Amino acid sequence: MDKIKKRKLDILVLSDVHLGTYGCHAKELLRYLRTVKPKTVILNGDIIDIWQFSKRYWPKSHMKVVKHLMSWMSKGVKMYYITGNHDEMLRKFVGFKMGSLKIVNKVILELDDGKTAWFFMAMCLM
């Protein structure tokens, strides 16, 4: 089988994936993740939906997404997990680091062109 040439990305931002829910499109996401090679990954909130999480529903495709992200971590890809409203319990762990993963409330990155990019999770509470 031919190896797919991966598209190099400076920054990959993933938001509102909602792993652990029936509406999650994990297979499609995994198909995309396998085509890119990012330097930095920003998990911009609600990657795992703790509000709707059920121990009874965690398909293999959801675990494959987690494993793929972890494989990037093991290769040293910088990864930031910005807490969202569906995973607010992770806020207790802001500042936690594991390998190249860091749990944060916001990310401020200096870009190659000298500009600054701010990433944060906007929440809508109803």
User: Would residue 125 count as lying in a domain?
Assistant: no
Sheet of 36-44: strand order equals 7-14, 36-44, 78-82, 101-104, 97-98
User: Would residue 34 count as lying in a domain?
Assistant: yes
User: Would residue 2 count as lying in a domain?
Assistant: no
User: Would residue 58 count as lying in a domain?
Assistant: yes
- Give the whole-angstrom CA distance, residue 72 versus residue 16: 19
* Amino acid 19: pLDDT: 92
User: Would residue 46 count as lying in a domain?
Assistant: yes
* Amino acid 126: pLDDT: 47
Are 91 and 66 in contact by the 8 Å Cβ rule? The answer is no
User: Would residue 42 count as lying in a domain?
Assistant: yes
Provide the residue range defining the domain that includes 115. Answer: 7-120
* Amino acid 92: pLDDT: 85
* Amino acid 17: pLDDT: 93
| DSSP-derived 3-state class of residue 118 | strand
70, with CB counted inside 10 A (0-12, 13-18, 19+), is middle
| DSSP-derived 3-state class of residue 42 | strand
Count of domains forming the chain: 1
* Amino acid 73: pLDDT: 95
User: Would residue 72 count as lying in a domain?
Assistant: yes
10-residue averages of pLDDT along the chain (126 residues): 82 93 94 97 88 80 96 96 81 89 92 89 57
